[in-house]
Structure 1
């Protein structure tokens, strides 16, 4: 008998792997990434300045005009000015318009987030007792599916 168990998010993969290992079961892991949409956050920022001193000068200028911000310390956006993270793209665009009205140009919006990795565990050549152990393991994750599949 062959089964497919999953799909599991990254936070559960190690636990499922350990539960299968505890029963002496070996599984192939099939990882896929759901692409498409970002996580729904929109970052408003000013692109990186030439160096930290220039970024600090620009930061003070924005604070003087009433705009909170912070200088990004790490790559890939080192010395950029982070101005806010918005859940609605329309709110991010409105904020950029507000910046422009205050004479602050060059602000950009970047959609944040990435696809979500999902892992399925593929188990081949199971004896009835082993299949029962997999069913018990599957019961620990109520949202996970357990499907019979064609053996490879």
Structure 2
């Protein structure tokens, strides 16, 4: 009982898996921002919070977008945890719902492909909204050599 067959339990596991990846990725973006930029903003009269929102946050923006896209796709495509923990049809994720189109007689290709197409729509929409910020974010967090 407890968190078995409950969405909060699956969400907690998704956070435990995806959040370290996102923090590790964002660290590369934040580490590339020179401290001198914040210091010069404070010399010009910005507070610590003001320099964060006016200087640091805009520079980390592309990294946030890239990390958000990767984290979203990683959580969206997860199958095993949801398959093991969720048994009720009301709590199943889309990946488990798609697997239900495979029966003992083989896959039902029509409904399976229609469901797969509909399942991909939110990912494509999420990417299209954020794509203009992605190009800078993918290269900005690379390791310095």
**TM-score band w.r.t. shorter chain:** under 0.3
Q: Which has the larger radius of gyration?
A: 1
Normalised TM-score (structure 2): 0.26
TM-score by length of 1: 0.25
Greater percentage in helix: 2
Tell me which protein shows more strand as a share of its residues.
1
- RCO (CA 8 Å, sep 6+): is it higher in 1 or 2? 1
